[in-house]
Chain A
């Protein structure tokens, strides 16, 4: 039983690491939702697009090579250089900021004061549009991220836990890195929004549009900033997930994984997104571990597998029934 307990702990820790990655995606949603009341379905595609752009720029791929070659009958594919990681990251951040500006200029500006459902539909359109643009720009093949991110088993943790418990935990270095980056990002964002002028303006806009306008805050400028930050977070999330499983178009599906996180944590709470992600990460790993174990089978007469596919959604469903505003969301009070 003792070793079963240790396996359980290991599963929980791994779940925590995965959970932090869920949080990262959910965070982008929360930021945009708070500032503009838009549920941004395109957040996952933004992650994909960010990762694609990073790989493309770094490896010197010619954007829109397919179209260019088809129109001009040329056969160019690469500029023939490889950029250093830092330069590629900075350029990609620039692209994400440009993207934020374009979204504000050509999409949000025209949809101010529309129903939330219309804005939601617009982001669905945006998601598919961006997926297409990403495909045209960089091609559809699976790409490998070439950043100096540590990967593989963390030897130290393995050795230390072996000394203590007689069983070495398998924790992936990539997961640890992702967790550290995510935590740093969240702390930095929190400090920024609490103590800077722009941060205060962001919170003001999230709270009351009219009042924000009346003190001289330009909503459009704030939206560009918010989408820019969300784009940056998406880029980080895209790179981390991409490092795990390669940059491929199925990456955009992490949107669906962020949904239960948001239902759990509440759509308007940054701490909610973090803790929601962790609960789901740990929950699904531990649940899978328990229900697929032989002792569970002995006791109950059956075992289950592949529960990770649905666990998060069922948990979110239960939450919707008993606490629809999520753990940290604003309480929904219906005035009559």
Chain B
């Protein structure tokens, strides 16, 4: 595939934002990811799919720095990334959500999304103690961006509600909001639709497409639900038992024999 391509719906996809080269991740003797390479390009929606235990979440944790692979290298914007802490990677512009929702449960929706702005807040501890002046100005500026995110996700009604009290679908949306507030260069979504009913899934799909469309955000998502993934993503990586068994457009992947075997099971008799 050339460096940039045009999607069927007419969007132009740019160069590589992130490139994984021969990544291998082991936990003791267990190989979670085995020699996987793929790239994520500017402006695309890239999906990583696979059956349970295929190593999808591990892959996301490698990208965002929770895990450090034993072999291989990661290139971010064309440069080899040295091993970094998750918070440093977040500072570089990679935001994520979690499969089992990791929100700050005691805090309001607004405060949760405000934490997403953390990397953009530059005033130091002492300026914040004085509060008036730079710190207050910064707070107001960032608050404006957060309010836009809240409008975008249609969650105005729950701005002041502690997120622990919200239903599951809304919590997922708040978590997306927190990641969006960071205005990331790359947005990682770990099973954004897990545990949702059909209606909530449709809502979430629409938000993902809108984010990509309106802000041009590059998105990498992990999903279980094949149908949804095929509908919204530009290119798909398929993993099984820690190995890459397919990579390409949804149509290519759908017709790939190895993928069909992994999903439907194969008769070894």
Contact = CB atoms under 8 A, between A and B. Distances in A.
Contacts of B119: 215-216
Given A197-B118, A210-B102, A215 B90 contact: yes
Contacts of B125: 198, 225
B144 to A, nearest CB: 15
Contact of A216 (B103, B111, B182): B182
A227 to B, nearest CB: 13
B116 interface: yes
Nearest to A211: B102
A208 B163 CA distance: 13
Interface string B217-246: 000000000000000000000000000000
Contacts of A195: 131, 139
A113 interface: no
Contacts of A200: 107, 111, 114-115, 118
Interface in A172-224: 192, 195-201, 203-204, 206-208, 210-219
A203 B111 contact: yes
Contacts, number: 87
Which 5 residue pairs are nearest across A and B when measured between Cβ atoms?
A216-B90, A211-B102, A207-B104, A213-B86, A196-B128
Nearest to A192: B129
Given A197-B128, A201-B115, A215-B90, 20 more contacts: A195-B131, A196-B131, A196-B135, A196-B139, A197-B121, A197-B123, A198-B125, A203-B106, A203-B107, A204-B104, A204-B115, A208-B105, A211-B104, A212-B115, A213-B66, A213-B90, A214-B96, A214-B98, A216-B118, A217-B115
A218 B90 CA distance: 10
Interface residues on B, range: 20 to 34
B32 interface: no
Given A203-B104, A208-B103, A215 B131 contact: no
A236 to B, nearest CB: 16
Contacts of B115: 200-201, 204, 212, 215, 217
B11 interface: no
B104 A208 contact: yes
B128 to A, nearest CB: 4
A196 B121 CA distance: 10
Contacts of A199: 128
B47 to A, nearest CB: 20
Nearest to A199: B128
Interface of B: 64, 66, 85-87, 90-91, 95-96, 98, 102-107, 111, 114-116, 118-119, 121, 123, 125, 128-129, 131, 135, 138-139, 178, 182
Interface of A: 192, 195-201, 203-204, 206-208, 210-219, 225
Taking chain A's interface residues, is the majority helix, strand, or loop, or is none over half, making it mixed?
helix
A186 B128 CA distance: 17
Contacts of B95: 214-215
A215 to B, nearest CB: 5
A208 B86 CA distance: 14
B102 A208 contact: yes
Contacts of B178: 215
A211 B106 contact: no
Contacts of A206: 106
Contact of A198 (B64, B86, B114, B128): B128
Pick the most buried of A198, A211, A212: most chain B CB atoms within 10 A of its CB: A211
Nearest to B131: A196
Contacts of B102: 208, 210-211, 214
Contacts of B104: 203-204, 207-208, 211-212
Contacts of B131: 195-196
